[in-house]
Amino acid sequence: MPRAKKESESSSSDSGPEDRGPPPSKKSKAGSSTSGEDANPNGPWTIENLRQVRINEFKGRKMVDIREFYEKNGEILPGKKGISLHIHQWKKLLELAPEINKALGE
């Protein structure tokens, strides 16, 4: 007999709690500075609101993590929406940036 699906299994969304509403704006630990003297040279870097770029290590390899974060109980936590690039993938993306900008008309 097939197993009954739990409520959490029936959702086809891959997003986390961030799609339930915007995070409270009372105290954002993410900061709004993308550059400047007060910015940490090792990140995280804020792209927009709680969308950030961070350097992480996974299985001993450094990765560039571009991800949406959400706030829960005053903590900024990583969401499911995002991508982690190995260093060689990040460098390739940077090489392709001028070509992508040209295609965007910028």
Is residue 1 situated within a structural domain? no
Low-confidence ranges of the chain (pLDDT < 50): 8-13, 18, 23-37
Q: Does residue 57 lie in a domain region? A: yes
Query: Sign (positive/negative) of CA torsion 16, 50, 78, 64?
Result: positive
- Residue pair 78/69 in contact (Cβ under 8 Å)? The answer is yes
Q: Phi/psi of residue 98, each to 5°?
A: -60, -40
CA–CA gap between residue 93 and residue 89 (Å, rounded) = 6
Residue 39 has a pLDDT of 64
pTM: predicted TM-score of the whole model, two decimal places: 0.59
CA distance 53 to 62: 13
The reply to whether 91 falls in a domain is yes
* Partners of 66 in beta bridges: 53, 83
Number of folded domains that form the chain: 1
Residue 106: its pLDDT value, please?
74
Confidence at residue 41, expressed as pLDDT on a 0 to 100 scale:
80
Write out the residue range of the structural domain in which residue 62 sits: 28-104
Q: Is 46 domain-assigned?
A: yes
**CATH number, domain with residue 70:** 2.30.31.10
pLDDT at 40: 75
**pLDDT value, residue 29:** 43
